[in-house]
């Protein structure tokens, strides 16, 4: 009985309804072009910051989809170091982090290189440097062997009746299936680039060629296809972040396609909409990057304290809620009196504006871009800070 698409005689002759794809593709491609055009206008420093943010988010989220939690600070440090940015800090190696960062960045940095069996196996080895997954040994850097039974995607695996969502082709077919996939991927780009990325993701994860890590590698393959289409080494948006935000629909769309009749229109519509969502989120992130760069440039002469810089950085990142003395002390580890002096200094600069209320209810909002007038220091007067002048 035919249950999965790879069991059909016409596999892998995928098909789709071009008319249904016109609108979601047009929206995604429009946003993609708008974002890339905007990035070309914001300057090199802001581009690098946007790239750092996008790549860091991609690494964290592609692991989160699989239930693996990576430390965002370690990820950002690793990405910054590979980009040659000064904020990288000391090299504290986390092999899990380094592995995922390595393959995600390889897809964009080396997008002109063909996708080969050796490259995929290298990615797999980077994901599982100890040769284990969840404490159990796995086949690393080679196609799966199914030594423990058929490759299945299962939920509630420890219940008396686990749910089997998908079963991949048997191991004896993997080598030939992957050879066909790689020939297609490297041969040409006769279809829309975004469709090619969505099809590549589905095709790879349907073969499920590895013992583990298939979802992560499938998403990197899609990233590679997008980078090839854009012809740039830089990545400014994260497909994995958009997938993670819509994870339930992601798995449902995959399962429906893998149990379908090779008409993958619904999957490609979902993928196009996911790309649009990813790019839309990147637009908001780019605004924050540009706004942050504009802020520090406008206030380059102000001798902010380390505490003030720390809190201002959080505010520029979009820290939620009003600022209170209690929140300030929690962020900076200082006394309430010091927090109040720091905040008063920023009020004097026009960067914090007091909200209605007094006493324990006293709170402030971030006034940037300026709402209550420009945050400037009167000419001829020194900037106001929370620091006392040094005694001579």
pLDDT, tens digit, for every residue of 208-234? 999 999 999 999 999 999 999 998 888
For residue 210, the Cα-to-chain-centroid distance in whole angstroms is 23
What's 263's DSSP letter? Answer: B
Contact assessment for residue 268 and residue 16, using Cβ atoms and an 8 Å cutoff = yes
Dihedral (Cα; 183, 215, 82, 246), 10-degree rounding: 120
- Answer positive or negative: Cα dihedral of 177, 179, 182, 188: negative
CA distances from 67 to 59, 61, 293 (A): 13, 9, 34
Give every residue of the chain whose pLDDT is below 50, as ranges.
Answer: 372-392
Confidence (pLDDT) at 390? 38
Q: At what angle do helices 95-109 and 214-230 cross, to 10 degrees?
A: 30
CA–CA separation, 306 and 329 (whole Å): 13
Confidence (pLDDT) at 90? 57
- Which helix (H) or strand (E) segment holds residue 353: the answer is strand 352-354
Does CATH place domain 5-291 in 3.40.50.1000? Answer: no
Confidence (pLDDT) at 87? 67
Half-sphere exposure (CA, 13 Å, Cβ side) for 299? 26
Contact assessment for residue 267 and residue 342, using Cβ atoms and an 8 Å cutoff = no
Contact assessment for residue 15 and residue 260, using Cβ atoms and an 8 Å cutoff = no
Confidence (pLDDT) at 251? 95
pTM, whole model, 2 decimals? 0.81
For residue 364, report the phi and psi dihedrals to the nearest 5 degrees: -135, 155
Half-sphere exposure (CA, 13 Å, Cβ side) for 39? 24
Domain ranges of the chain: 5-291, 303-392
- Answer positive or negative: Cα dihedral of 225, 226, 229, 230: negative
Does CATH place domain 303-392 in 1.10.760.10? Answer: no
CA–CA separation, 270 and 276 (whole Å): 10
Confidence (pLDDT) at 89? 56
Same fold? 5-291, 303-392: no
Confidence (pLDDT) at 139? 92
* SS3 label, residue 253: helix
CA–CA separation, 27 and 329 (whole Å): 45
């Amino acid at each position: 009985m035919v249950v999965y698409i790879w069991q059909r005689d016409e596999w892998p002759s995928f098909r789709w309804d071009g008319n249904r794809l016109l609108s979601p593709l047009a929206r995604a491609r429009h946003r993609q072009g708008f974002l890339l055009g905007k990035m070309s206008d914001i300057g090199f420093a802001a581009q690098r910051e946007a790239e750092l943010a996008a790549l860091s988010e991609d690494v964290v989220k592609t692991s989160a989809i699989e239930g693996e939690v990576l430390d965002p600070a370690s990820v950002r440090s690793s990405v910054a170091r590979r980009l040659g940015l000064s904020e990288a800090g000391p090299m504290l190696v986390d092999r899990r982090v380094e592995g995922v960062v390595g393959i995600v960045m390889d897809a964009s940095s080396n997008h002109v290189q063909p996708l080969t069996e050796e490259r995929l196996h290298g990615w797999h080895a980077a994901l599982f440097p100890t040769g284990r997954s969840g404490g159990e040994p796995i086949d690393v850097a080679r196609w799966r062997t199914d030594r423990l039974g058929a490759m299945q995607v299962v939920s509630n695996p420890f219940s008396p009746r686990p749910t089997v969502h998908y079963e991949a082709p048997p191991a004896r077919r993997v080598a030939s299936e992957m050879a066909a996939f790689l020939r297609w991927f490297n041969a040409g780009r006769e279809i829309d680039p975004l469709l090619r990325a969505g099809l590549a993701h589905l095709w790879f994860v349907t073969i499920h060629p590895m013992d583990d890590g298939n979802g992560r590698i499938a998403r990197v393959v899609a990233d590679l296809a997008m980078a090839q289409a854009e012809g740039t080494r830089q990545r400014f948006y994260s497909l994995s972040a958009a997938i993670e935000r819509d994870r339930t629909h992601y798995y449902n769309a995959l399962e429906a396609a893998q149990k379908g009749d090779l008409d993958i229109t619904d999957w490609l519509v979902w993928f196009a909409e996911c790309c649009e969502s990813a790019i839309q989120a990147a637009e908001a992130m780019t605004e924050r990057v540009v706004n942050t760069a504009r802020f520090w440039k406008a206030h380059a002469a102000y001798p902010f304290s380390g505490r003030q810089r720390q809190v201002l950085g959080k505010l520029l990142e979009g820290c939620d809620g009003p600022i209170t003395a209690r929140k300030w002390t929690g962020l900076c580890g200082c006394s309430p009196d010091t927090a109040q002096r720091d905040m008063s200094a920023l009020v004097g600069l026009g960067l914090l504006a007091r909200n209605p209320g007094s006493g324990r209810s006293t709170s402030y909002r971030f006034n940037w871009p300026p709402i209550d007038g420009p945050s400037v220091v009167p000419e001829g007067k020194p900037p106001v800070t929370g620091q006392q002048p040094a005694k001579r």
